[in-house]
Amino acid sequence: MSDKSLASIQKEVDQYIGQFKEGYFSPLALMARLSEEVGELAREVNHQFGPKPKKPDEADNSIEMELGDILFILSCFANSLGISLTEAHDKVMNKFNTRDAGRWTRKETEQ
């Protein structure tokens, strides 16, 4: 297991995509790909935790691989628009830590 930063993941994806003349897909195409991958994740979650077992001839995908696919497409999407996922994450965490600070019941901390 490696501990990669979001920035290093984005850079790795950019280097991969940079090998090809086609480059990044359009934002609309990337949104469609992201939606497709989220659907595949939902299917895997349903197989593992829901009432729908896999058919014997179905591909042996995993939740881990589907999350990886989503991270790849999300990195492509962010890169194509010049968005830092690290900065986006920091902004979202700030929002949750301020707007939703009292929304959930906190666990007791030991002294």
Q: Map out the domains of the chain as residue ranges.
A: 6-97
What is the model's pLDDT at position 2? 81
Q: How far apart are the C-alpha atoms of 24 and 18, rounded to whole Å?
A: 8
84 vs 11: CA distance, rounded Å? 10
Q: What is the pLDDT of residue 14?
A: 98
- pTM for the structure as a whole: 0.86
> What is the distance of C-alpha 64 from the center of its chain?
11
Each residue's pLDDT tens digit, 60-84: 779 999 999 999 999 999 999 999 9
What is residue 17's predicted lDDT score, i.e. its pLDDT?
A: 98
14 close to 79: Cβ distance less than 8 angstroms: yes
Amino acid at 33: R
Tell me: pLDDT of 5 over 90. yes
pLDDT band at 36 (very low <50, low <70, confident <90, very high): very high
What secondary structure letter does DSSP report for 51?
Answer: S
pLDDT of residue 60: 73
pLDDT of residue 111: 64
Pick the CATH number of 6-97 from 3.20.19.10, 3.40.50.620, 1.10.287.1080, 3.30.379.10: 1.10.287.1080
Which residues, 6+ apart, have CB-to-CB distance to 84 below 8 Å? Answer: 6, 7, 10, 78
